[in-house]
Chain A
Amino acid sequence: MIRFENVGLRYGMGPEVLRDLTFSIEPQSFQFLTGPSGAGKTSLLRLLFLSMRPTRGLISVFGKDTTKLAKAELPSMRRRIGVVFQDFRLLDHLTTYENVALPHRVAGKSESEYRPDVIDLLKWVGLGDRMHVLPPVLSGGEKQRAAIARALITRPEVLLADEPTGNVDPPLARRLLRLFIELNRLGTSVVIATHDFHLLEQIEARHLILNDGRLAVHV
């Protein structure tokens, strides 16, 4: 599904922040991406959701070499990847419902097509009664669930989550993790970037450990 071969990344003329990364994300797999702060987790996630191109090496996403992707192909590729940001990135002037419906809206669907799906998903993540609320009054956990719902609404093949439990208390972190597991069970590949050891201990899953820009894989 996603394949990295000897991938390196540097910003400008600086040192390489990611070095010789070789791994793959398989269909319906579940993995944690972990490592100390500054190890390059966010940079790796940015490569994964096509926000950046590598300095060297090969990245293949859904069978296509990203270096050969035309700009016009990027949106359709990104729609197959759901992203949950550490800082949620909800649009403050849109309601929870509108934020979650955004991926459908940009895909040109009419509201009558996606409305039932959005409502069902919001209920599923426990935000059924917060649909018309603007993000500034949502709690950290609610924002996190809204961001997750937005990433899932189009049923992406891969879900990337950057520190999804970084802003929530342990009980809510466990609930969010159960949500990710359920998604994975329904067929979505999940990559969770975290350095929350409690979260890592919750389930048995593949660990991608980044340290000083290099990757070690523990199955």
Chain B
Amino acid sequence: MTGAKRATVKARRPDGARAATPKKKAKRPVKKATRPKSSNLRFSLREKTAPIVPPQAISGQALMLVVAIMSFLACLTVGFVAIVNDAANDWTNDLVREVTVQIRPADGVNMLLEIDRTLALVREFPGVGDARALSDEETKGLLQPWLGEGLELEELPIPRLVLVEISDPELLDLPAMKNQIEQDIRAASVDDHRVWNRQLSAMANTAVLAGFGILVLVLFSMVLSVIFATQAAMSGNKDVVEVLHFVGAEIGFIASEFQRHFLWLGLKGGIFGGMMAALSFLIIGFFGGGDISSVSGNQVQALFGSAQVSAIGYLGIVAVVVLVAVLTALTSRLAVHRHLGNMD
């Protein structure tokens, strides 16, 4: 050894480990700050050890509320997107499976004869399921909101509609049928609802995109909140982090300790928010059916469906809850890594 030597005791040098061991102190009655333990020491030591980062040191309540609100909003967005998407799909399916032939009144046109000819013609095409003309009552019902009750169809030049249901869209040659009808039937035109369909798809796509935009903004706000909360937690637990550093903890270990708290917190907040959103949709579905016997209720239901979230919508809510929990945990982990990286 150079420049240094082992210690030599001037007085009361211990003879060995036992001699150096400080005397056991008499048992003290202080028990108030101990963990509950069983009478069996070995058993009690096998009990789960306390978390290294104290849970109460993280501003849990406020952050959990923020996460719950954010996941509630995100789940609402997903639910509404699902409703709009389902309604648009229903509309599109209905429209794709239906073609309307309109026969306009014209000089020398026998309306009833032309309707019968139209029905006979369309039924010849493969892929057509059924075809029928709207009855007088149905036609009056359609015009009632604009022309009122007591309408006499014979007094007005009102076009008549033939509804053609398509059983197999792939089998039907729609352009050929359209050409045939317009050639053979006087004053007839075929509406395959393509314009409507296109507009509806555009509207639905816009709604879905807007929904995802809102979802991204909500999740981004939540991520920012978690970053601030993590930084606050790191500052509040500065002593713990320093001690962990001194005893040789890897950054990954410290990050995992914080991440575990935030994952649990995000999961609780996410589940709470998701449950509230699901409950809201159940209530809307229960009471939102509204007065479907009225004309306006009927129209609203025709446009938006029954305002009930489908199974896929509820799956989306579950996915949002999981996403919220994972995002919370990952964000906290990255924030801790960054904080510790700056510390070293």
Q: Specify which of B30, B44, B245 is in contact with A137 (CB 8 Å cutoff).
A: B30
Whether, in the assembled complex, B287 has its beta carbon less than 8 Å from a beta carbon of chain A, the answer is no
Min CB distance A5 to B, Å, is: 14
Q: Residue on B with the closest CB to A108?
A: B253
Residues of A near B33 (CB, < 8 A) are 133-134, 136-137
- Could you mark each residue 152-195 of chain A with 1 if its beta carbon is under 8 Å from any beta carbon of chain B, else 0? 00100000000000000000101110111110111000100000
Q: Are B6 and A89 in contact (CB under 8 A)?
A: no
Q: Are A102 and B14 in contact (CB under 8 A)?
A: no
Given A111-B46, A125-B22, A201-B10, A206-B247 contact (CB < 8 Å): no
Complexed CA–CA distance, A78 and B242 (Å):
12
Q: Are B34 and A75 in contact (CB under 8 A)?
A: no
Given A89-B242, A133-B30, A78-B23 contact (CB < 8 Å): no
Q: Are A205 and B7 in contact (CB under 8 A)?
A: yes
Complexed CA–CA distance, A187 and B65 (Å):
54
Q: Are B246 and A91 in contact (CB under 8 A)?
A: no
Complexed CA–CA distance, A30 and B246 (Å):
21
Residues of B near A62 (CB, < 8 A) are none
Q: Residue on B with the closest CB to A88?
A: B243
Residues of B near A91 (CB, < 8 A) are 52, 239-240, 243
Whether, in the assembled complex, B110 has its beta carbon less than 8 Å from a beta carbon of chain A, the answer is no
Q: Residue on B with the closest CB to A178?
A: B20
Residues of A near B143 (CB, < 8 A) are none
Given A26-B1, A26-B2, A128-B24, A102-B344 contact (CB < 8 Å): no
Q: Are B54 and A93 in contact (CB under 8 A)?
A: yes
Q: Are B7 and A203 in contact (CB under 8 A)?
A: yes
Q: Are A29 and B4 in contact (CB under 8 A)?
A: yes
Complexed CA–CA distance, A150 and B247 (Å):
9
- Output the residue of B17, B45, B240 with the most chain A CB within 10 A: B45
Q: Are B1 and A28 in contact (CB under 8 A)?
A: yes
Whether, in the assembled complex, A13 has its beta carbon less than 8 Å from a beta carbon of chain B, the answer is no
Given A24-B3, A95-B35, A103-B247, A202-B50 contact (CB < 8 Å): no
Q: Are B7 and A179 in contact (CB under 8 A)?
A: no
Given A132-B37, A174-B12, A181-B9, A219-B3 contact (CB < 8 Å): yes
Count: A-B pairs, CB below 8 Å? 168
Min CB distance A179 to B, Å, is: 6
Whether, in the assembled complex, A71 has its beta carbon less than 8 Å from a beta carbon of chain B, the answer is yes
Q: Specify which of B17, B41, B50 is in contact with A124 (CB 8 Å cutoff).
A: B17
Q: Specify which of A76, A126, A202, A203 is in contact with B24 (CB 8 Å cutoff).
A: A126
- Output the residue of A132, A150, A174 with the most chain B CB within 10 A: A132
Given A29-B1, A91-B243, A217-B3, A181-B20 contact (CB < 8 Å): yes
Given A107-B248, A133-B33, A206-B4 contact (CB < 8 Å): yes
Q: Are B7 and A97 in contact (CB under 8 A)?
A: no
- Output the residue of B9, B239, B245, B248 with the most chain A CB within 10 A: B248
Question: Which size bracket describes the interface of A in this complex?
Answer: 35 or more
- Could you mark each residue 324-344 of chain B with 1 if its beta carbon is under 8 Å from any beta carbon of chain A, else 0? 000000000000000001001
Q: Specify which of A71, A202, A219 is in contact with B5 (CB 8 Å cutoff).
A: A219
Residues of B near A137 (CB, < 8 A) are 30, 32-34
Q: Are A206 and B3 in contact (CB under 8 A)?
A: yes
Question: Which size bracket describes the interface of B in this complex?
Answer: 35 or more
Complexed CA–CA distance, A136 and B116 (Å):
97
Residues of B near A131 (CB, < 8 A) are 41, 45
Given A103-B247, A106-B253, A111-B46, A204-B34 contact (CB < 8 Å): no
Q: Are B344 and A106 in contact (CB under 8 A)?
A: no
Given A93-B50, A126-B21, A179-B22, A115-B8 contact (CB < 8 Å): no
Complexed CA–CA distance, A24 and B5 (Å):
12
Complexed CA–CA distance, A180 and B7 (Å):
9
Complexed CA–CA distance, A119 and B46 (Å):
12
Of residues 247 to 301 in B, which have CB atoms within 8 Å of A's CB atoms?
247-251, 253
Q: Are B14 and A126 in contact (CB under 8 A)?
A: no
Complexed CA–CA distance, A103 and B46 (Å):
18
Min CB distance B198 to A, Å, is: 58
Residues of A near B25 (CB, < 8 A) are 126, 129, 142
Residues of B near A172 (CB, < 8 A) are 22
Of residues 73 to 124 in A, which have CB atoms within 8 Å of B's CB atoms?
74-79, 83, 89, 91, 93-95, 97-98, 101-103, 105-108, 111, 115, 119, 124
- Apart from A89-B243, A102-B243, what are 12 other A-B pairs with CB-CB below 8 Å? A26-B4, A29-B5, A49-B246, A79-B247, A103-B247, A115-B45, A126-B24, A137-B34, A172-B22, A202-B9, A205-B7, A219-B5
**6 closest A-B pairs (Cβ-Cβ)?**
A29-B4, A79-B248, A30-B7, A182-B20, A106-B249, A126-B22
Q: Give me the interface of A with B, judged by CB distance under 8 Å.
A: 23-31, 49, 51, 71-72, 74-79, 83, 89, 91, 93-95, 97-98, 101-103, 105-108, 111, 115, 119, 124-126, 128-129, 131-134, 136-137, 142, 145, 150, 154, 172, 174-176, 178-182, 184-186, 190, 201-206, 217, 219
A-B contact pairs, 9 of them (CB 8 A): A25-B4, A29-B1, A102-B243, A111-B45, A124-B17, A129-B24, A132-B44, A154-B248, A180-B7
